[in-house]
Amino acid sequence: MKDNNTFGAIYLLSMIGAAVYFIKTAISFWSGVLGILKAMVWPAILIYKIFELLKL
């Protein structure tokens, strides 16, 4: 149970960090909204790209 909480906390902090980055680089309101959506899914895309690179 403790490991799940740790993973959740790390995921939440990385999502918040990504959201801050994408919002800071946004040039309009809608690109900021898109940045928040990207922040929610970027870990899944990252894992997919790693698996693709390793040909798994």
pTM for this prediction: 0.67
pLDDT tens, 2-26? Answer: 566 777 787 888 888 888 998 999 9
- Could you give the dihedral angle defined by the CA atoms of residues 7, 8, 11 and 14, in that order, rounded to the nearest 10 degrees? -110
Mean pLDDT of 23-48: 89
pLDDT tens string 41-53: 887 888 888 889 9
pLDDT at residue 56 tops 80 = no
Mean pLDDT of 32-38: 91
Conformation bin of residue 2: beta by default, left when phi > 0, alpha when psi is -120 to 50: alpha
